[in-house]
Chains A and B, each alone.
Chain A
Amino acid sequence: MSAVAAKPAAGGAMNPAAMGVGIVLLILIIGVCYYISPGLGLMSLIGIIIGGILIGFGVHFVPVGGAPAAMGQAPGIATGVAMLAAGGGLAGLFGGAWAADQGLVVAVVTGGVGGGLMMAITCMMVNFIYVFGMGIPAASGKVKNDPITGDSQAEFKSQGTEGHGLPFVSFVGGVIGGLLAGAGGTLIYLMLLDLYKATLPTLMQATEVQILPIAVSAAGIFAVGMFLVNAVLTAYNITGTIEGPHDPKFKRWPRSIVASAVASALCGLVAILIVV
């Protein structure tokens, strides 16, 4: 990914009028779904919206440093935020899809745990490389003391940099982000899978066992697509890099909730319209 010049921070402010329009759109879309398919379709849509919100909110927690992090100039992981979150969330989706037979709650939590585990291992190995491979301790540039452990940060920041590595709060943020993103992606997948399993047999004049590959694949690719849309919207919200939940940019999350909700509702409605 190329390092593109960051836009000047018009980004921080909330736009109440636009948020209002967003919420109105959301209600409209839910209304349309209620009109078209009050039972199964509406339940799926609500699930998809919640899943989208989980993804959008969860991605805020993931510590991403971008290009400067690759040189030890900024804390966080040196990968793009949308794709790192996608990596964690999809690893979670993998686990959640496998547990689909065991019920909604178990599958969603499994998906979350899968995503959280992937992020935990990755974050731990990032610190491993920084400490044992490069001799650099972790330090944050945005706070004086780590909010969770109380460790002071300033004297462990090397000169001329904004910090480096993953301080403990960033690690925890990464794990929480993986948990939420994995759970959200799995929820979207399961909602669509159940909907397709229930409606495709009549639509395609076949048995449920026969159309199962179609249902799984369609639900899977929709989940991936919606995952990426939500992750990219969140990446736009934080303008590319964030240190974790302690970063001031984290306060922008309300905008992302509205944006993710509307985007997921819209995409979910279209996905539901295929079978209704």
Chain B
Amino acid sequence: MENIVFGIGITALTGALATVAGAAEDTESNIGSQGDPNSQVQLAPQMGFLHRIFNKAVAGEPPAYGLWCCLGAGLAWAFMAMQINAVLAIVLGCILAVFVQGVYATTAYLGRTASLKKFGQPVYVDILKSMTTVTMAHAFVAIFCTVTLCYLMNAALGHPFPLPLLGLVWGISLGAAGSAVGNPYYGKERQYQNQKFGAGVPISASGNIVRYAEAGERNSLDNGFFTAKLGGPASGVCFGLIVFLELWRTILFEKIAAGWGAIIVGLLMILVFTIIDRYIEVWARKTYGPYTKPEEASS
């Protein structure tokens, strides 16, 4: 019984850490402009729209966060093997991982922008100086939370995987969840804020991202400020739910029916989310209505 209570306590803690990690991850990738929306930042100068957005082309978020979290976890493991206290080891490991992240960010910006010479896109050194540290700060929060939750899974809950492997697994999942949920919000809602609300960006408008906005010329901090209001927390809730529910159903139900208890609970959860998703979809169709009359629409 005590075991289960301890397990649930750790599960709650990891769920909270995962939520913070997801929110920080999405905000960081939006400030740096990473992943699929970054294709627009790359495309804009080619269509004649020069900008002051940070162009952080470091793979996609899943492999990149897989690396930062795995690296942070590996360094933490190495420090712990050198008999350094666990908390200090994790902090040191994450600091070094963030340093790598910052360097990759700067080289990506310089590389992509220098290769756009033909279209006249300048390299803004002040953007490099001001954005990099902000993305590093958000990344530190995300990486630290993820490495900590991996450590808790390994040390407190007894998962067989060693710390670096857990870092790899949850880093990639963090990137996948945060990228899936946060990218459309950044890409459609903020980058193309000048397009009509409530519809996708028409293909003819590709490249025409917003470059002049609330406070003069827009930069990535403005983007981060916006997406941190909904995209970030939504990504956080997504990753937090993933980690929390995965652990919760295992801790509580794995002993029931020789493991089948956890499986049945998992399937029930999938069913619940399917119903919620269907509700959302139907609500949108009913409340927003179609764009055109059904007969006029072309497939």
Contacts and interface: CB of A to CB of B under 8 A. Distances in A.
**A and B touching (Cβ–Cβ under 8 A):** yes
Interface of A: 1-3, 66-73, 77-80, 83-84, 86-88, 90-91, 93-95, 97-100, 102-103, 106-107, 109-110, 113-114, 116-118, 120-138, 144, 149, 151-161, 163-164, 166-168, 171-172, 175, 212-213, 216-217, 220-221, 224
Q: Which 8 A-B pairs have the closest CB atoms?
A: A160-B202, A87-B176, A72-B200, A70-B187, A158-B199, A83-B62, A155-B290, A113-B266
A151 B278 CA distance: 12
B246 interface: yes
B37 A78 contact: yes
B284 A131 contact: yes
Contact of A79 (B61, B159, B281): B61
A70 B274 contact: no
Interface string B243-279: 0011000100010001110110011011001101110
Contacts of A110: 259, 262-263, 266
B259 A98 contact: no
A84 B299 CA distance: 28
A120 B270 CA distance: 6
Contact of B181 (A126, A152, A154, A221): A126
A121 B273 contact: yes
Interface centre among B175, B200, B237 (most CB of A within 10 A): B200
Given A84-B62, A151-B285, A1 B35 contact: yes
B199 A136 contact: yes
Given A87-B175, A134-B184, A98 B159 contact: yes
Contacts of A138: 281, 284
A248 to B, nearest CB: 13
Given A71-B37, A160-B204, 16 more contacts: A2-B42, A68-B203, A69-B184, A71-B187, A71-B201, A73-B206, A80-B62, A87-B175, A99-B259, A118-B177, A118-B246, A121-B241, A127-B280, A127-B281, A133-B231, A154-B294
A151 B241 CA distance: 29
Nearest to B196: A158
Interface string B34-48: 011111101100000
Contact of A117 (B159, B237, B270): B270
Contact of B238 (A72, A80, A125, A136): A125
Given A121-B241, A220-B161, A78 B291 contact: no
Nearest to A138: B281
B299 A116 contact: no
A164 B59 CA distance: 24
B36 A221 contact: no
A57 B101 CA distance: 34
Interface stretch (B82-90, B121-129, B165-173, B214-222): B165-173
> How would you classify the secondary structure of chain B's contact residues: helix, strand, loop or mixed?
helix
30 contacts: A2-B38, A3-B43, A70-B40, A72-B184, A72-B200, A78-B183, A83-B63, A91-B246, A93-B169, A94-B161, A94-B169, A97-B160, A98-B250, A106-B260, A107-B259, A113-B262, A113-B267, A117-B245, A118-B173, A120-B269, A121-B241, A123-B273, A126-B184, A129-B231, A136-B200, A152-B294, A155-B292, A157-B297, A160-B202, A161-B202
Contacts of B290: 155-156
Contacts of A100: 160
Interface residues of B, number: 92
Nearest to A152: B294
Contacts, number: 307
B234 A128 contact: yes
B210 interface: no
A77 B183 CA distance: 9
Interface of B: 35-40, 42-43, 57, 59-63, 159-162, 165-166, 168-170, 172-173, 175-177, 179-189, 191-192, 197-206, 230-231, 234-235, 237-238, 241-242, 245-246, 250, 254, 258-260, 262-263, 266-267, 269-270, 273-274, 276-278, 280-281, 283-285, 288, 290-294, 296-299
Contacts of B206: 71, 73
Contacts of B188: 70-72, 134, 136
B299 A155 contact: no
A117 B176 contact: no
Contacts of B180: 77-79, 84, 122-123, 125-126
B200 A71 contact: yes
A70 to B, nearest CB: 3
Contacts of B281: 127, 131, 137-138, 151, 167-168
Given A97-B160, A136-B200, A155-B294, A168 B266 contact: no
Contacts of A69: 36, 183-184
B299 A127 contact: no
A107 B246 CA distance: 14
